Amino acid sequence: MSITRKLSAKQQRAIEILLRLKQLYPDATCSLNYETPVQLLVATILSAQCTDERVNKVTPELFRRFPDAAAIASADLSEIETLVKSTGFYRNKSKNIQGACRMIMQQYGGELPQLMEDLLKLAGVARKTANVVLANAFGINMGVTVDTHVKRLSYRLGLTEHTDPIRVERDLMKLLPQPDWENWSIRLIFHGRAVCTARKPACDRCTLADLCPSATLTQKPMLIESPELEELENEPEPAILTLESQSKPT
C-alpha cells in the first residue's frame, strides 16, 4: 500500500511561484561567463559583493592570461590582483582564487571536484559558490543557491522566517523539488533585479503579488491549477520533492 500525501499550503505556494517564474524568465541562465568549471569557480568567487556584469568585464582578460587552475596556481599574485581590482576586495579574492587553484592542482589533479564536501575545502568557497558550480558546471543540485536576491525575496514571499543563508537554504530545500533548486535561484535573481528590487519593489506590476504576503496590494491570494501540482500531490512521500515533468535545471 503506497503512502500518499498532499503538499502543504506553503509547498503549493512555492511550487506555483516557481512555475510562474519559469514562465516569466524561460531563458534565464547563469549570468556569469565561463568555459570550464574552474573558470566558473573563479567567476563566482569574484562575484561576491559585486555585480555579474562587472565580473564579466574582468574575466575575459583574466582567463586569457590564466585559463586554467595550473596557470592561476603559478601566477604572480600581484598580476591577478591587478586584473580583478575593480570587483572589490580584490586582495582577498585573488588570494582565495590562487589558493583554491593550488589545492585543485595538488589534491585533485587539476580538475575541479564534483562533491560538496571537497569544494568546501577550497579557499573562498562556501555553500553559495559550491551550489552555483555544482549545478551549472556539472548539473548536480546539492542545495539552493542563496544570494542576496534569493534571501530577500524568499523572505518577502513568506517562504522562510530566517535571514541566515544556511537556514534560508534549508527552508527552500524542503519546499522545492530538487531538480528545480537552481532554477529557483536563477529566476528569483532575475525577478529581484527586474521587479522586486530592494528599495522599491514594483508590487503593482508583479505577477507574484497575489502569492506574496508582503505585496502592497489587497488582492486575495490564489493558486493557478496546474498538472504539475496535481501530479506532485498524488506522489508517494519522498525524502526530497521531485518534479519529473520539469525540464533539467539550467
pLDDT along the chain (250 residues), means of 10: 68 97 95 98 96 97 98 98 98 98 97 97 97 97 96 96 96 97 96 94 95 72 38 36 37
Instruction: Write down the catalytic residue from 128, 151, 171, 180.
Output: 128
- Strand pairing partners for 236? 4
| Burial class of 113 by CB neighbour count within 10 A (0 to 12, 13 to 18, 19+) | buried
Note the helical H segments in 47-147: 52-65, 69-73, 77-84, 90-108, 116-119, 127-138
Note the pLDDT of residue 116: 97
Note the pLDDT of residue 5: 60
The CB-side HSE value for 179 (13 A sphere, CA atoms) comes to 8
Residue from 128, 119, 124, 61 nearest 91 by CA: 124
Q: Is 147 a catalytic residue?
A: yes
Q: Is 164 a catalytic residue?
A: no
Instruction: Write down the catalytic residue from 85, 147, 174, 210.
Output: 147
Contact 187, 21 (CB under 8 A): yes
Q: Is the dihedral of CA 164, 165, 166, 169 positive or negative?
A: positive
3-state secondary structure of 4: strand
Note the pLDDT of residue 54: 97
**In the chain, ranges of CATH 1.10.340.30 domains:** 37-138
User: Domain 9-28+145-233 classified CATH 1.10.10.10?
Assistant: no
Note the pLDDT of residue 132: 97
Q: What topology is assigned to 37-138 in CATH? A: Endonuclease III; domain 1 (1.10.340)
Cα–Cα distance measured from residue 95 to residue 111, given in angstroms and rounded to the nearest whole number: 19
